[in-house]
Structure 1
Amino acid sequence: MAELTPPRTVLVTGATGGVGSAVARRLHADGWIVYAAHRKPTDEAALRDAGYTPVRMELTDEESLATAAETVGPRLDGLVNSAAVMGQGPVELTPAEAWRRQFEINVIGQTAVIRAFLPALRSASGRIVNVGAVSARVPPPFFGPIAASKAALSALTQALRMELRHQGVKVSLVEPGAMDTPIFATADKASAETGWAGSSETQQLYARALDAVRTTAARQTLGPVDPAVTAIVRALTARRPATLYTTGRDGRALALLRFLPDGVRERLLLRGMGVTAEAFAKTPVPVG
């Protein structure tokens, strides 16, 4: 009698929403044992009801990650790093607190997760899939914070891939375009709570440009998560996974802009975001 192959195992961070939840659903439907990472105790019951094995962990707490690694066990076929926070706004107006949080979650936290689960991934000759953003390669104006953190994630992914090349662990990066997930609403809420840095005069300098960006963003049609999910599954299952997957029509279009001269590319991005020179013109002060 042929020996039964045990189900493959995967840990998905950010499994309670956005791309992470969609990936968890797809892999569970494909027969994987899904370890669904979550932060809030209140999420555990819903994740268990969905057929996953909940794993409570905090990306910024290494003790929490060590406990989670013990829960998952000595072998892990896949790790999908999709947990992230999004910060947006002018570089000058983004407070240091917002920059630190962005890098703490999107870069340092991802690295800590990888370190915690690498022994189990090595035992299974597993796969690591990091979810980045195409803005890492072509940053639009006023998206510097998220673009900078995702560029750092891209760099560490490339270094990690070479370091693990001869250890049996394959590493891929998936860079989606703008997707219809709650992350934009969450980013807007976080920005409102944190507020802007700089004086009121400095903030006023950007006011009209930010209004133009918000208007443009409101008209934008966000893409589905399915192309990103499909790319993640392919990275986990293909015999020879690609090192980089760029998904979404807008994501592929944005990625192509990197081949243009800087001046041309930047003019196109500013125009696409609705930002003109007039947006930065000083408002005349009434006389008398």
Structure 2
Amino acid sequence: MELDIPTFKKIEAVGWTVTLCILVFFFGHVFVFLGICFLVRKLYMWYKTRRLGLIDPLGKAVVVTGCDSGFGLGLAKHLHAVGFTVFATCLNLDSEGAKSLQKLASDRLKVVHLDITNDDSVGRCQRRVKEECENTGLWGLVNNAGLNVMGDLELTTMEQYLTTGNINLYGMVRMCKAFLPLIRQAKGRIVNVTSAKGLLAIPSCAAYTVAKFGGEAFSEILYQEMSQFGVTVSIIEPCNYGGATGCLNEAGLKRIKANFDEMWREASDDVKEFYGPAHLAQQMEDLKQAAATAAPTIDPVIDAFEDALRNQCPKFRYLIPGSNSYFDWSHILTCLMPFLPQSLFNKLRAYFVPYAIYK
């Protein structure tokens, strides 16, 4: 028996309707189940943390890199205040941050010179820490030091790519390789600072974003390899904190302008003709305006650092929203990115986050 076309279309429509209903029913139950599992896990972690309490910091030492300013400076002071012994490493011992730490004049706060791009400097720092922690090991290593370099992929010089990678990625690698034996001895914590840019690629920030993606990959491998030895690894991923850390203050903007001038000097005639001198000038103006949207304080990031070092069950990732308004679109887009088609995501990103303004 042959079906006429109208009857066939009716059967087809009924079939698709039934299929759709089954899918909605199935996935609806799946999402409800996953939601319940997520809630149960959150409640369990909250109960376990409350029951076990925070780790006592007394007698535990932490190395923090990049304490000249920003997160590192704030964290060194905070960890010292709660009871940790802190090795606050600074690139410049004459910096305002280093001087403010030295003024605390505490036996538990040691200001140490460190250049994380130099093997000899890292070795000297490691030996200094080992002398004081040889019996107990090192509880925490916070790889915070970083350099935020703005610029289009094509305009950024190779020297800027290499310098940014050496500080933000290979400095982290260098420190972990040097201090892992002491961390393993204490079954301690490694806390690596990347950025929302380690998850969310943003235009006009090529060198920094590439390095931060690398930091994410390195941290994941480190987590997998070290968990068998009782070492905990966490990643701190700040969003819009460029103004609060000093990346986009007056001195930071001067440094970015100097980088832009270097890009223009090194660019080929073809690239200069294509972009035009007004391109980088407009980017500078955009950054000045965008700096006003950043979070006014670094306190949420400092709280995440402390949780990673003291919580009995720390997170692997701490993605921390930061803005001077109710919404941090960089944080929202980072959370939505895995679930959106690339074309739609790119349009949303271009509309809500047109500037590379994160830590």
TM-score above 0.5: yes
Distance in 2 separating the partners of 1:187 and 1:139:
21
Indicate yes or no: 2:302 matched with 1:245. Answer: no
What secondary structure sits across from 1:184 in the alignment?
coil
Q: For the Cα contact (< 8 Å) 1:134–1:175, is it kept in 2?
A: yes
TM-score by length of 2: 0.70
**Higher Cα Rg, which structure:** 2
TM-score by length of 1: 0.86
Q: For the Cα contact (< 8 Å) 2:248–2:291, is it kept in 1?
A: no
Indicate yes or no: 2:89 matched with 1:32. Answer: no
> After the TM superposition, which residues 151-166 of structure 1 pair with which residues of structure 2 at under 5 Å, given as runs?
151-166=213-228
| Displacement of 1:215 | 5.9
Distance in 2 separating the partners of 1:134 and 1:72:
31
**Partner residue, 1:203:** 275
Indicate yes or no: 2:351 matched with 1:262. Answer: no
Moved more, 130-139 or 186-195: 186-195
Indicate yes or no: 2:122 matched with 1:68. Answer: no
Cα deviations across residues 31-61 of structure 1 (Å, max 9, x unaligned)? 1011000122324554222232011111111
Identity of counterpart residues, as a percentage?
28
| Displacement of 1:184 | 2.6
RMSD: 2.3
Indicate yes or no: 2:114 matched with 1:57. Answer: yes
Moved more, 11-20 or 248-257: 248-257
What secondary structure sits across from 1:89 in the alignment?
coil
What secondary structure sits across from 2:128 in the alignment?
helix
Structure 1 residues 218, 173: closer, same or farther in 2, change over 3 A? Answer: closer
Structure 1 residues 241, 218: closer, same or farther in 2, change over 3 A? Answer: closer
Distance in 2 separating the partners of 1:24 and 1:5:
13
The count of corresponding residues between Structure 1 and Structure 2 is 272
Distance in 2 separating the partners of 1:71 and 1:215:
41
Distance in 1 separating the partners of 2:287 and 2:72:
26
**Aligned residue among 150, 165, 176 for 2:212:** 150
Moved more, 71-80 or 188-197: 188-197
Cα deviations across residues 244-274 of structure 1 (Å, max 9, x unaligned)? 0111242531312313211111112222345
> Which segments of 5 or more consecutive residues in structure 2 lack a partner in the other structure?
1-55, 323-327
Q: For the Cα contact (< 8 Å) 2:57–2:310, is it kept in 1?
A: no
What secondary structure sits across from 1:41 in the alignment?
coil
Structure holding more helix per residue: 2
**Partner residue, 1:280:** none
**Partner residue, 1:182:** 246
**Aligned residue among 32, 36, 47 for 2:101:** 47
Structure 1 residues 211, 114: closer, same or farther in 2, change over 3 A? Answer: closer
> After the TM superposition, which residues 207-222 of structure 1 pair with which residues of structure 2 at under 5 Å, given as runs?
207=279, 210=283, 213-214=286-287, 216-222=289-295
Distance in 1 separating the partners of 2:318 and 2:206:
22
Distance in 1 separating the partners of 2:88 and 2:77:
10
> Which segments of 5 or more consecutive residues in structure 1 lack a partner in the other structure?
276-288
What secondary structure sits across from 1:190 in the alignment?
helix
Distance in 1 separating the partners of 2:57 and 2:354:
55
Structure 1 residues 237, 264: closer, same or farther in 2, change over 3 A? Answer: same
